[in-house]
Structure 1
Amino acid sequence: MRSESEVPFADNPFLVPVAERMKRLPPYLFGKINKLKYQKRVAGIDVIDLGMGNPTDPPHPLIQEKLADALKDSKNHRYSVANGIGNLRREVAKRYEKRYGAKLNHDDEVIACIGSKEGFSHMCLALMGQGDTAIVPSPTFPIHMYSVILASGNVISLDVRDPSEFLRNVAYTCEHLYPKPKVVIVNFPHNPSSTVVEADFYVELVKLAKMYGFLVISDFAYADICYDDYKAPSFLATPGALDVGVELTTMSKSYSMAGWRIGFCCGNREMVRALATIKGYYDYGIFQAIQIAAIVAMRHCDEMIDELCVEYQSRRDILCEGLSRLGWEIEKPKAGMFVWAKIPEPYAAMGSIDFSMKLLEEGGVAVSPGRGFGDDGEGYLRLAIVENGQRLRQAVREIGRCTRVEAAKAS
């Protein structure tokens, strides 16, 4: 029988030496809020969750029915091809031509991804390495920055809320940095700020890419969620775009298929090939029944997108007008699933994380603090319009009650 001193690691716990890249990741800034949200729900307390862009609306019944049918075919339960079945890639190319006038070769300019986040992350891994630099938009959706960091690249964050100024800063950075940035990441409609651009933005971006030799990755996740007659332009519709970059899209928002995990990377064939190589090592492709249902969605369910936009616009108006009545400075977004709200005085002095905690603790309303999107996000909240109108009105009432109580204490 071994003595206690002989028991492995009894007094000296084994230390796990994680990779250096892990040490470059900061503490998760949404952790406190997510923990409190979980605790409230376990305790049976209602939480109105405006923190995450997680659609609550179900996919069209036709999509669900096709999935159910495809499940019955035994062939669909085998490994699928890593780049997506041919008919799915063909449908994506048709959709790009129909909606944006962009012509793509489905064989080598389209690849299916396990959601656009996976495609984006692995594209950074395929392109970036030690010593390489990427320009990312700021405020920054975390994956745009940390995919670069996990690929051992360096990040330069440029404020994107004035798109013309962003382009000037890209040019200035390329002129003065050596070696020049290898990749420029853009994301319009922008998450979190909801900033939008017109087609001429991409014309200038392609010119800069060819002038300075950088590659472009466009995250087009909110392509179809647009309001007030605004239509988001595609980077790939720009002359010369296929020479310099790719675009990531997803079925999560447009078709309410977030949990299905299906998206696409389209564009420059060499970049698509690099992503396919990485994916060949990391995964065996998306469950084929989901791919078949996605084909049906793109062929027959586009009217759902129009209905969804009407619903989201109504929710946007309820939230924005409600907060405006409380005295908040609110600019209605033209696209996307978020309201980017400036924290009113005197609460801005609390900082966005503490103010978010206050709304959750006292009002049961979960939001995303702007600080979680970098320094340029401080002083703002990101509120997702994923709850229905009644719940959003309730959220406004709770926010008003929290802030009125504080104002009464101050007086």
Structure 2
Amino acid sequence: MEQKAEFGFGTQIRKSPYFDATVRWGATAFSVYNHMYIPREFGDPEQNFWNLVNEAILCDVAAERQVEITGPDAATFVQRLTPRDLSEMAVGQCKYILITNADGGILNDPILLRLAENHFWISLADSDILLWAQGVAINSELDVTIREPDVSPLQLQGPQSGEIMKTLFGDDIMDLRYYWLRELELNGIPLIVSRTGWSSELGYELYLQDGTRGDELWETIMAAGLPFGLKPGHTSAIRRIEGGMLSYHADADMGTNPYELGMDRLVNPDMEADFIGKAALQRIRDNGVSRKQVGLRIEGAPLKGPNTSFWPLSHQGETVGKVTSAVYSPRLERNIALAMVAVEHSALGTELDVQTLSGPARAVVIDKPFFDPRKKIAASA
């Protein structure tokens, strides 16, 4: 008789509304993200990747907590948090933003959702932006209310996700554009649905607004998706690295600025509106950076899973950077990585030495993203 897995869960870490469902559907490992448990494995990570790129997967990402900002000065306050110009952001639109500190360092790279004229959600990567935003608000002299609402997102991602969404919501859902949102109900379950996701594939995020109905929502989606090959899954390190997507605390942190990441498009230091880090980012833009994020091909045998530490990069015996995210891509049949290196060693074709977990290897700087660089897949349909 197969022994049931035992998990050592405590009460000090929060469980998502989908927690019981993910265990029931075969979650085999969890991590902690934004002080919540998040499923990290449903079996073989490579099979999870193929499920994602060939059919569809449903992921519990309730740990992407929302910071809700409301009040007469909500738009002004949100702009104060980010160097991205939000002056043209419409109600119903989503935007990928950076939140920076006074030194221009990145505190988070969330998705911003504008639900109404003075109603925003910041859908977080892993960091305590709720506390940051509440602290900024104290002396801002702006009339805003900042809280964490009862909102827990699921990600439905993959080429069959559109067909599954049509089964759930009807044909009208196909009119939902990339990086836009819509308020919907499913069997009376209140949702915000957006055409977004952390996969670089066609996908949707379903933001549950009643945590008591998480199990019902999960089972309803799985039932609708089974004819289309839907599987329970987890965010794929393989696919997100292929797509050059950041993992906060790995590829960026508060010591990393947008220009080092080549994210100039998310910074407008000359806009009229004020934001935290404006002067610092003006200086960095004018003076240039000393290091830069690059893509790498790491030669040798396929890596056994993603890196769990930063691997040093060297040139002629001198350390010049570090690998931040590395994985073997079975589709590309090569080891690929994101790395931060000294600018003088960042040109395409530069050869570097990397110390992997299994020993030294040769690495070559190549273009990133490694697959579908213009995000045609995610923006399709």
Larger RCO, structure (CA 8 Å, separation 6 or more): 1
Q: Which has the higher helix share?
A: 1
- Give the TM interval when normalised to the shorter protein: under 0.3
* Larger gyration radius, structure 1 or structure 2: 1
Q: Which has the higher strand share?
A: 2
